[in-house]
Amino acid sequence: MNDHLKERKNTTVPKTHRIPERPHLRGTLRRTPTNSSRRILERPVSPLTSHESLNRKPEERRPLNMSLQKSLKVIGRAKREWESTVDSLPQLICLIDDQGSILRTNRTIERWNLEQVFNVKGRNIHQLFHPHCTDASCYLETFWSLAKEELNYHRSSECEVKDRVIERHLHFQVLPISPKMYKKREEIHGYAVVVVHDITERKQVEKEILALEEQLHQSQKMEAICRLAGGMAHDFNNILTPIMGYSQLAINALPPDNPVQKDLQEIRKAAEGAVALVRQLSVFSKRQPENPQIVNLNHVLLNMDQMIRRLVGDHIKLVTLPGPNLGLVKIDPGQFEQVIVSLVVNARDAMPSGGKLILETSNVTLTQDYVYQHSGMIPGQYVMLAVSDTGIGMTKEVRTHLFEPFFTTKGMSSGTGMGLSSAYGIIRQSNGYVLVYSEVGHGTTFKIYLPRTEEEVQPLPRREEEKPLQGGNETILLVEDEPLVRGLAARILRKQGYHLLEASNGSEALRLAEKRIGEEIHLILTDVVMPGMIGRELVERLHSPFPKMKVLYMSGYTNSAIVHHGILEEGMNFIQKPFTLEALVGKVREVLDQ
């Protein structure tokens, strides 16, 4: 009992309101149902109507949801299309923040094998292209410092460089982006886009174009030099003809013991040296070989082996590598031997302390891609002759002028500078090409390409025995505009018994011929190129009154050059100036006896 009383004593009794507040609480409780009823009656919509409205809400929201989903699909498709477009661009595009950190890139980064697109965020441009580079002076560090300064002023920047790490020519562009403010006092950040163009192919094309332009310029220069050389050869031949002819006449007229004989012999010797030099000029300017034959270059090298060994000496090792089943070429063997000698002598002089000389032949095919890099060449099947030495090599400047007449790196006492220019002319006559590869200190290689032919090898013609000079008593119409040449030829032929009619041009020759209509003119000996009327036109006008008249043309130009320019037809009788007494007399007799 006592315990029970203690427990009640310790129990907390709820606190009750004071008696004066109770009437107020009873009034509040009485008003509450009335207020609740009034509020229910004041509701604008009945519970039933409200329930129907709730049921109608999802129906109304469904079109909105569909429209929203459609819009999201359009946005998603546009995003994918935009990403696909940017990813398909050949340029590398990087979006960077104002600190230079990459936010994202297109997938060109993967095609360039730099990095996976999801691994680049947070890196800078230098780390992206040169991940292992610690060089503070790297061009990317320098360029980005400059680009960042330009971005501060909202300006773009660019640079072009050959990147040796990824082995590409690159063009960088850094372009600022101005973000728009959509909310008042919104904090915005500056961005930039880096566009990197791979211009390696463009640079290669530019390099090829420059090379082609240089080759074209070189070809045009050589063409101009060829024309100049041909004109010089023609003029010099007209000068040398009387020098050689009159000196020979004087030698023949004086007794052998006459003291003037020695002087005349020296004059003739000097003239012959000049003739040889002019002949080299003529070879350089000609377009066709004089006596083309079908030959095997291996046989040509074999026949020249002993001569080449004597030329190079014992201090140079000669190696000959003849190609198997070598194709045939159409060349003038005598002239082509001159080409080989010129190249061998050039190689020997480049190795004063000894070395190795290699002569190699092979069949080659020049493809379209190869000839594209070497202007003027035609694709096809060729025979190649390579002449290589281990000498001092040549600079680019020397290679540029290598085949020009009279150009030499040696002293004037060591050569005339016509050897390689003559070789160039002979090769071009045979529709061939010559390329030169040389580096200072690493030797030189000449590669000659001659077109292969399917014609059969022709036997070499037998040399005819020299016949004694034979004159005659026929009438010859001599037409030559150079007085010295005309006088010399008339004197030589009169001395052989011929009757001469001399004219300085075509019009004068026609007047002389008109006076002899009804009589016979057995031969017309005429210069090819003359003022007013060329030799061929003169011959055609004389053909009707003198149908049996034989024709012999002469010129300071070579026969092949005249035929190439269409002045004469191949096979016409021709003698080239300067001619010797024996050559002129023999050719005149040969034509008269045809």
Could you tell me the CATH number of the domain that includes residue 523? 3.40.50.2300
Helix (H) or strand (E) holding 370: helix 368-372
| Cα(17)–Cα(561) distance, integer angstroms | 141
Tokens 């036997």 identify what position? Answer: 459
Q: Specify the pairing of strand 316-321 against strand 355-366.
A: parallel
Alpha carbon separation from 75 to 70, 72, 81, 399 (Å, rounded): 9, 5, 10, 65
Give the residue from 324, 326, 330 showing the smallest Cα distance to 456. 330
Domain assignment present for residue 580? The answer is: yes
The residues facing 444 across adjacent strands are 389, 438
- Please indicate, yes or no, whether residues 339 and 401 belong to a single structural domain of this protein: yes
To the question of pTM greater than 0.75 for the whole model, the response is: no
CATH number of the domain residue 245 falls in: 1.10.287.130
Last residue of a domain, one of 257, 285, 313: 285
- Please indicate, yes or no, whether residues 222 and 125 belong to a single structural domain of this protein: no
CATH number of the domain residue 442 falls in: 3.30.565.10
Give the residue from 318, 321, 468 showing the smallest Cα distance to 385. 321
| Cα(560)–Cα(576) distance, integer angstroms | 11
Give the residue from 583, 579, 584 showing the smallest Cα distance to 278. 579
Asked if 128 contacts 120 with a C-beta cutoff of 8 angstroms, the reply is: yes
- Please indicate, yes or no, whether residues 303 and 416 belong to a single structural domain of this protein: yes
| Cα(342)–Cα(322) distance, integer angstroms | 19
Last residue of a domain, one of 244, 260, 285: 285
- Please indicate, yes or no, whether residues 303 and 370 belong to a single structural domain of this protein: yes
- Please indicate, yes or no, whether residues 138 and 164 belong to a single structural domain of this protein: yes
| DSSP SS3 for 199 | coil
| Cα(442)–Cα(422) distance, integer angstroms | 25
Domain coverage including residue 94: 89-179+187-198
Domain assignment present for residue 315? The answer is: yes
Q: Residue 328 phi/psi, 5° resolution?
A: -95, 150
Last residue of a domain, one of 253, 285, 317: 285
pLDDT digits 0-9 by tens, 365-390:
888 777 766 667 888 899 999 999 98
Domain assignment present for residue 264? The answer is: yes
Give the residue from 466, 454, 494, 458 showing the smallest Cα distance to 478. 494
Task: Give the per-residue pLDDT at 341.
Answer: 86
Domain assignment present for residue 51? The answer is: no
- Please indicate, yes or no, whether residues 587 and 532 belong to a single structural domain of this protein: yes
Q: Which two tokens stand for residue 29?
A: 């409780």
Give the residue from 519, 470, 517, 465 showing the smallest Cα distance to 498. 470
Give the list of residues 6+ apart from residue 94 with CB closer than 8 angstroms, or none: 102, 104, 105, 120, 125, 128, 193, 194, 196
- Please indicate, yes or no, whether residues 492 and 413 belong to a single structural domain of this protein: no
If you write DSSP's letter for every residue of 217-278 in order, what string do you get? Answer: HHHHHHHHHHHHHHHHHHHHHHHHHHHHHHHHHHHHHS-TT-THHHHHHHHHHHHHHHHHHH
Domain assignment present for residue 566? The answer is: yes
- Please indicate, yes or no, whether residues 277 and 330 belong to a single structural domain of this protein: no
- Please indicate, yes or no, whether residues 356 and 278 belong to a single structural domain of this protein: no
Domain assignment present for residue 78? The answer is: no
- Please indicate, yes or no, whether residues 483 and 546 belong to a single structural domain of this protein: yes
Alpha carbon separation from 74 to 57, 63, 67, 84, 467 (Å, rounded): 26, 16, 11, 15, 103
Domain assignment present for residue 169? The answer is: yes
| Cα(204)–Cα(500) distance, integer angstroms | 68
For the chain, helix, strand, coil in percent to 5 are: 50, 20, 35
Domain assignment present for residue 541? The answer is: yes
| DSSP SS3 for 395 | coil
Give the list of residues 6+ apart from residue 339 with CB closer than 8 angstroms, or none: 422, 423, 426, 427, 448
Low-confidence ranges of the chain (pLDDT < 70): 1-61, 179-189, 215, 218-219, 221-223, 225-226, 229-230, 280-290, 372-375, 405-419, 457-468, 557-567
b vs e for 55-71, b when ≥16 Cβ sit within 10 Å of the residue's Cβ? eeeeeeeeeeeeeeeee
Asked if 503 contacts 512 with a C-beta cutoff of 8 angstroms, the reply is: yes
Task: Give the per-residue pLDDT at 5.
Answer: 45
- Please indicate, yes or no, whether residues 383 and 324 belong to a single structural domain of this protein: yes
- Please indicate, yes or no, whether residues 421 and 486 belong to a single structural domain of this protein: no
Task: Give the per-residue pLDDT at 529.
Answer: 82
Q: Where are the alpha helices (DSSP H) in 418-482?
A: 419-429
Task: Give the per-residue pLDDT at 179.
Answer: 66
pLDDT digits 0-9 by tens, 11-39:
444 444 455 555 555 665 565 555 555 65
Number of domain units in the chain: 4
Q: Specify the pairing of strand 444-453 against strand 380-389.
A: antiparallel
CATH number of the domain residue 142 falls in: 3.30.450.20
